[in-house]
Chains A and B, each alone.
Chain A
Amino acid sequence: MKVLRLPKSPKVLLGLGILGFFILMTIIGPWLAPYNPSATNFAANLTPSAHHWLGTTSLGQDIYSQLLVGARATMVVALLAGLVATILSVTIGVAAGYLGGLSDDGLSLLSNVFLAIPGLPLLIVIDSYLPVNSRSNTFVIGLIISLTGWAWGARVLRAQTMSLRNRDFVEAARIIGEKRHRIMFSEIAPNLLPVLASSFLFTVLYAIGAYVTLAYIGLTSTAVWNWGTMLYWAQANNAPLSNEWYWFVPPGICIALVGTGLALVNFGIDEFINPRLRAGGLTSRQRRKLGLPRRVRLGLTPVLRPAKAPRVSTAPAKLVSQ
């Protein structure tokens, strides 16, 4: 893990590209928006046109602006919730895995309980009890989302820490007399990074879904624009059944794209963690040229055609007899 190589896999590059695009949208979206998303002074239910790239809502608001402005809250909440949840899962998971014994039992129990309770219903219940003014606070929403999303990462990190703890190089560090926190930082932590990154991405994926769902149900304040709220209004005004695809399809597609981007990057991390998953070797065209079968099949070691000549050696002139 010394050298940070740029990923070569096209899947990962695509994923990073998609994520980069949406992070850009998060940052400069509100600037680019042509109109105020809440402004209702346009004609209602317009189909996409030059003035309104995505048309207008039933209330006369510009959908394109809503999309751009909404990116910010959606992404920020998702990333924030993902971050907080990951911090929670690292703290609890690594502690449980490293400390072992009673602390491990207690923390594992905690994670298992949170894991077993289904996330969304719990979210809905908690959110429904929130006073209405809190619901507009994206931080609060992000916080409660992270409360329901940390358990999976904790379990994975605990398992990983446990397996690392018993590895030879950690044992060696302990024998040399390294301090515990140094061991955790310089020996265990670097090996946890890929799993950590993967866990973070999964959590962000969960968070964005949870946030959008909450908004769709109407449990977040409609004052803050996000993609879920757009879907809420679209549903409330019967956009799907009135064939106003330009209203509810774009936010959904955006959500899906962000999710896909996250998943694609996760593939790359998966392949990094498990070398067997890497798609090494030749392309099928190269194989065909060499006379090899298109796919390597187990138990059928391929034979090169035409065969190659062996590395030539010279025979000694004569060998003495015994």
Chain B
Amino acid sequence: MRMIIRRLSLYALTAWVAITVNFLLPRLMPGNPVQTMIGKLTGQVTAAEMNAIQLSFGGSFKQGLFAQYFTYLTQLFHGNFGSSITLGAPVGAILRESVPWTVGLIGVSTIVSFAVGTFAGALLGWTRGSRLDSLIPTATFFQAIPYFFLGTVMLLVFASNLHWFPVLGAYSQNATPGWNWNFVGNVIRYGELPVISIVLSSIAGWMLGMRNMMITMVGEDFVLMAVAKGLPRRKVIMHAARNAILPSIANLSLAIGLVVSGALLVELVFNYPGVGDLLLQAVLNEDYPLIQGIFLVITLTVLCANLIADVVYLALDPRTRTEAAV
């Protein structure tokens, strides 16, 4: 339990750092981009809108730095992420639409990639020296391909040319959003190729990590004991795998960060209505409130996922419960 509190406080701290970075960055950059932006917009937006925009940066610039910071924090706690310049709507509302798509895509991809990857890795580690080993260089190659590139290629080959998968979007145009079977089925269908693309790009890491740990485990005494006990082979493998998977779960936190980065781009390629395209447009249009909002939301989501992964790890490794935290 103490461990969880420690992790929680770490994540809380990280969140705070992210928020502060968000606040400080525009002010630290040479050329004070925010001022420039405000200057550009003056006269193009109404006073109310200008107010809203300024609020998302921490209020009027006429105040001192700390006062601005305080305003900024207060706004955040009220759920006010500010107002998007280009879209004219509150950032929170915009994000509420797209974040679920991103979370869904990344969540499903990560789970599939982790499950298939560690399973394959366990097999590879156990049956070392067999023909299966040729999977490794293949997976490594796929891992080295940038996410968006693989996505593009897959889109081109499987969707445009072979027509095995639908081309773009999260659901077909004539399907009505809602919790009906048609829609859900549609979502799954349209999601297949993006998920496959992300899974292929990330699976090598899991495979290799698990494989290396399995090989190490096979050399451990307790696995020999399991064999000496006359247990069926399946159970012996489980003994080893149960231990081998621990570092992978510990690394899940790091991996989620990477998957998120890659998935954002895959969304671009497949025209998925998630946060990715939103971010890109915001960057191109210098829509700073939106950029900040997206960054914060992504960071907070990743931190939540990290926390879940940490809890799972604690549940699986009893040694951490008594020892001091690392």
Contact (Cβ within 8 A) B299 A257: no
Which residues from 119 to 148 on chain B have a C-beta closer than 8 Å to any C-beta of chain A?
Answer: 127-130, 137, 140-141, 143-146, 148
Q: Which of A112, A252, A299 contacts B10 (CB 8 A)?
A: A112
Contact (Cβ within 8 A) B265 A213: yes
- Complex contacts, A112 vs chain B, CB 8 Å: 10, 14
Q: What mask results when residues 17 to 41 of chain A are scored 1 for a CB within 8 Å of chain B, else 0?
A: 0000000000000000000000000
Q: How far is the CA of A210 from the CA of B50 in the complex (A)?
A: 34
Q: How far is the CA of A123 from the CA of B224 in the complex (A)?
A: 47
Contact (Cβ within 8 A) A217 B283: yes
- Number of B interface residues at 8 Å Cβ cutoff, please give it: 70
Q: Which of B130, B143, B262, B284 contacts A218 (CB 8 A)?
A: B284
Q: How far is the CA of A84 from the CA of B196 in the complex (A)?
A: 34
CB distance from B294 to the nearest CB of A (A): 7
Contact (Cβ within 8 A) B280 A217: yes
Which residues from 94 to 141 on chain A have a C-beta closer than 8 Å to any C-beta of chain B?
Answer: 109, 112-113, 115-122, 124-131, 134
- Complex contacts, A121 vs chain B, CB 8 Å: 260-261, 264, 279, 294-295, 298-299
Q: Which of A11, A219, A299 contacts B283 (CB 8 A)?
A: A219
The closest CB in chain A to the CB of B260 belongs to A118
Q: What mask results when residues 204 to 233 of chain A are scored 1 for a CB within 8 Å of chain B, else 0?
A: 010001001100111100000000000100
CB distance from B310 to the nearest CB of A (A): 11
- Number of A interface residues at 8 Å Cβ cutoff, please give it: 60
Q: How far is the CA of A134 from the CA of B261 in the complex (A)?
A: 23
- Complex contacts, A175 vs chain B, CB 8 Å: none
Contact (Cβ within 8 A) A118 B257: yes
- Complex contacts, B284 vs chain A, CB 8 Å: 218
Interface residue B219 (Cβ < 8 Å from any Cβ of A): yes
Interface residue A307 (Cβ < 8 Å from any Cβ of B): no
Contact (Cβ within 8 A) B127 A125: no
Contact (Cβ within 8 A) A117 B145: no
Contact (Cβ within 8 A) A298 B223: yes
- Complex contacts, B141 vs chain A, CB 8 Å: 256, 260
**Known contacts A231-B149, A241-B160; is-contact A299 B33 (Cβ 8 Å):** no
Q: How far is the CA of A295 from the CA of B155 in the complex (A)?
A: 40
Interface residue B313 (Cβ < 8 Å from any Cβ of A): no
User: 12 extra interchain contacts, Cβ-Cβ under 8 A, other than A121-B295, A124-B291, A256-B146?
Assistant: A118-B260, A120-B261, A120-B262, A125-B25, A129-B25, A231-B149, A249-B153, A260-B140, A260-B141, A263-B204, A298-B227, A299-B236
Which of B's residues lie within 8 Å of A, judged by CB?
10-11, 13-14, 17-18, 21-22, 25-26, 29-31, 33, 127-130, 137, 140-141, 143-146, 148-149, 152-153, 155-156, 160-161, 204, 212, 215-216, 218-219, 223-224, 227-228, 236, 253-254, 256-258, 260-262, 264-265, 279-280, 283-284, 286, 288, 291-292, 294-295, 298-299, 302-303, 306, 326
